[in-house]
Structure 1
Amino acid sequence: MLTGMSAAKITWCVLVALALTLVPASASATDAAPAAPHWRWPTSPPAAVLHPFLAPPGPYAAGHRGVDFAAAPGDVVLAPADAVVQFAGVVVDRPVVTLRVDEHVLVSFEPVTATADTGTMLTAGHALGTVARGGHCDGVCLHVGVRVDGEYVSPMLYFAGIPPAVLLPLQ
């Protein structure tokens, strides 16, 4: 049992700890590109999250560098924002589509069979492909990963899925 700590202090500590798990270890608030919290869902809303983002403690450590949304083979995958198709092909054993949103942000989808070629400019909501079989959840999900300046971040920051933290004063 914790002694000498009020419920407000414990809540504040838990909120800070949760916030720290969402930011890569090497990123700081000043060097990350601003999030675009108005991205469209890549699948039909509401998008059910099967497996959340889990930041690894280091660049080569285990973690879940994206979010798995419930999806089925054949489901249409939509561009969440205006973007250019950076890559459309197979990585190891699964089809992947990567979009470049701007000079800082890449978003990847797998397993997705592309319907748009590399170099194609897509507008938000435009179909980029369909969910395929395979991947780490074998066709029952769509894995979405977001990299900002090469560092993985929680895609939910861009889909407005994480409410802003409210820090309360210590009393």
Structure 2
Amino acid sequence: MCVATSVALSTPVASARPDAFGWPLQPRPQVVTSFDRPEQNWLPGHRGVDLAAREGQSVLAVADGIVVFAGPVAGKPVVSVDHSSGLRSTYEPVVASVAAGSRVRRGTILGSVAGRHESCSATCLHWGIRRGREYLDPTALVRASPIRLKPLEAAPR
């Protein structure tokens, strides 16, 4: 006899409920630049992921939360959302359709993609997740946990 169990992913965001987060673009986008955590905060790295997108494509809240910022940062349009799990999601470049202080639900339209992120050769969305000052791999929030079958020990007869 076998039973299905799920195995937790060993990621820094494994404490977030796996069903609480979704992708910021629909349909599920291609990751064109992966997360690359720097060894030290001041070293170069890629503190998020770049997702293939179309100019004007709707950007969705990945989870319930409160918009804490919607506006330009160094001339680039950015939206940031705080989530009850202690995580903050950021989206760039996004022309906001929400304002700071707005409550959003997973799937709420935050705005639209406004061109390409500096690390992309084509239009893309840069999606970041952080807990405090630590940047985390956002794709770990939306990966499905693998299902493993493992045998049950036979009951004594």
- Fold conserved between structures, TM > 0.5: yes
Distance 1:102 1:138, change over 3 A: farther
CA contact 2:14–2:141 (8 Å) conserved in 1: no
2: CA distance, partners of 1:160 / 1:33: 10
Which whole-Å deviations, capped at 9, do the CAs of 1:102-136 have from their partners, x for residues lacking one? 26210000000000000000011110000002431
Question: Residue 154 in 1 paired to residue 137 in 2?
Answer: yes
Report how far residue 64 of structure 1 moved.
Answer: 0.3
- Report percent identity of matched pairs: 38
Report how far residue 37 of structure 1 moved.
Answer: 2.1
1: CA distance, partners of 2:121 / 2:112: 14
More helix by share: 1
The equivalent residue for 1:35 is 16
Within the candidate set 66, 86, 93, 1:111 is matched to: 93
2: CA distance, partners of 1:139 / 1:74: 13
Question: Residue 46 in 1 paired to residue 28 in 2?
Answer: yes
Distance 1:138 1:83, change over 3 A: farther
CA contact 1:94–1:134 (8 Å) conserved in 2: no
The equivalent residue for 1:74 is 56
Structure with the greater relative contact order (CA < 8 A, sep ≥ 6): 1 or 2? 2
Structure 2 residue runs without a partner (length 5+): 1-9, 149-157
- TM-score (normalizing by structure 1): 0.72
More strand by share: 2
1: CA distance, partners of 2:111 / 2:67: 11
Amino acid at match of 1:150: R
Which whole-Å deviations, capped at 9, do the CAs of 1:55-106 have from their partners, x for residues lacking one? 0010010000001110021000011110110100100021000000126210
1: CA distance, partners of 2:136 / 2:27: 22
1: CA distance, partners of 2:54 / 2:48: 18
The equivalent residue for 1:14 is none
Structure 1 residue runs without a partner (length 5+): 1-18, 24-31, 167-171
Within the candidate set 21, 29, 47, 1:65 is matched to: 47
2: CA distance, partners of 1:150 / 1:139: 29
The equivalent residue for 1:5 is none
